[in-house]
């Protein structure tokens, strides 16, 4: 057998069309566009490319995107002051801070002051706690996109066994919570899990977010499983995921390609979250 591809592009294009229509209606009704502020510290080339990509996607959607570029030697006090100012700016619907930050800056310095109402990447403790409780919140865009990909392809989650390999705050843990809220039975695995293959072979859904190239092999999967690969690992021949695609596709029922899978959905979820933040702000 050969797995069906869970490609991000078809689902992302459909979501974009829905978002574009909602943004147009929002602008007609309220006479302004939702807007994102992207805080970039330093001159990291990869981060600059990513921010440019975000700016283009927001422009295509008819939404605003303001880049706040700070020098690499920015102090914690200045970084936090910039974020506080954006929190209070009514023209800014959502805020993201490009990570990782140059030392001595830390993510905690951001989450200590970032307003949960504008935290459209779901990194603040408030949004993490709300997600844990199953209450309305902003969810990190990458796992949110992975869940959307499963649902839009008609893959049943309710009552299924799901394994999430990885326990990061930005992908693994929130993905586990999202699956739990969809009534899956969820197991979280990590670098100290004993016999990872035995655990994965019991799973109807496997989500790989461990950050190790080709770690999940085909013989670690249950035949017919849905495999969502969040890995982005640069190799000599290009980008590969955390799942060994060549062997996994012969066992799985569905699998996301890398690239072309979950990464495509991440950017669309950022659009959706920023639009949602603008709507929520008007309700307050």
pLDDT in tens, 156-169: 999 999 999 999 99
CATH code, 33-115: 3.40.50.10860
**Cα 55–60–62 angle (5° rounding)?**
95
- Is the pLDDT at 65 greater than 90? The verdict is yes
Contacts of 74 (CB under 8 A, 6+ apart): 41, 105
Residue, of 48 and 138, whose pLDDT is higher: 138
Fold category of 141-263 in CATH: Rossmann fold (3.40.50)
Q: What number is the average pLDDT over the span 116-135?
A: 98
Annotated domain spans of the chain: 33-115, 141-263
In the chain the first and final C-alpha atoms are separated, in Å, by 53
Give percent of the chain above pLDDT 70: 100
DSSP bridge pairs for 239: 234
Q: What number is the average pLDDT over the span 125-154?
A: 98
Beta strands in 122-167 (DSSP E): 161-165
DSSP-assigned letters across all residues of 49-112? HHHHHHHHHHHHTT-EEEEEEE-TT--HHHHHHHHHHHHT-TT--EEEE-SSPPTT--HHHHHT
Query: Do the domains spanning 33-115 and 141-263 agree at the CATH topology level?
Result: yes
Residue 1 — very low, low, confident or very high, per pLDDT cuts 50/70/90?
Answer: low
Give percent of the chain above pLDDT 90: 94
């Amino acid at each position: 057998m050969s797995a069906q591809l869970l490609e991000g592009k078809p689902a992302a294009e459909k979501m974009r069309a829905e978002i574009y229509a909602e943004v147009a209606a929002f602008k007609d009704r309220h006479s302004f566009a939702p807007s994102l502020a992207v805080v970039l510290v330093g001159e990291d080339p990869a981060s600059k490319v990513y921010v440019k990509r975000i700016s283009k996607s927001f422009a295509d959607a008819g939404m605003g995107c303001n880049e706040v570029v700070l020098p690499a030697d920015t102090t914690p006090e200045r970084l936090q002051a910039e974020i506080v100012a954006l929190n209070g700016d009514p023209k800014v619907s959502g805020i993201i801070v490009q990570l990782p930050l140059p030392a001595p800056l830390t993510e905690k310095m951001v989450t200590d002051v970032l307003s949960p109402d504008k935290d459209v990447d779901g990194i603040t403790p408030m949004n993490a706690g709300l997600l844990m409780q199953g209450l309305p919140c902003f969810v990190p865009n990458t796992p949110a996109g992975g869940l959307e990909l499963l649902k839009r392809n008609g893959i049943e989650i309710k009552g299924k066994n799901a394994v999430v390999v990885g326990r990061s705050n930005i992908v693994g843990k929130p993905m586990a919570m999202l699956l739990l809220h969809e009534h899956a039975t969820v197991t979280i695995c990590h670098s100290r899990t004993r016999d990872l293959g035995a655990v994965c072979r019991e799973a109807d859904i496997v989500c790989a977010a461990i950050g190790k190239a080709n770690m999940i092999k085909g013989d670690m999967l249950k035949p017919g499983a849905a495999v969502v690969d969040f890995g982005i690992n640069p190799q000599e021949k290009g980008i590969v995921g955390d799942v060994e695609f060549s062997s996994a596709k012969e066992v799985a029922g569905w699998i996301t390609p890398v690239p072309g899978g979950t990464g495509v959905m991440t950017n669309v979820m950022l659009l959706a979250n920023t639009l949602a933040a603008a709507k929520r702000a008007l309700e307050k």
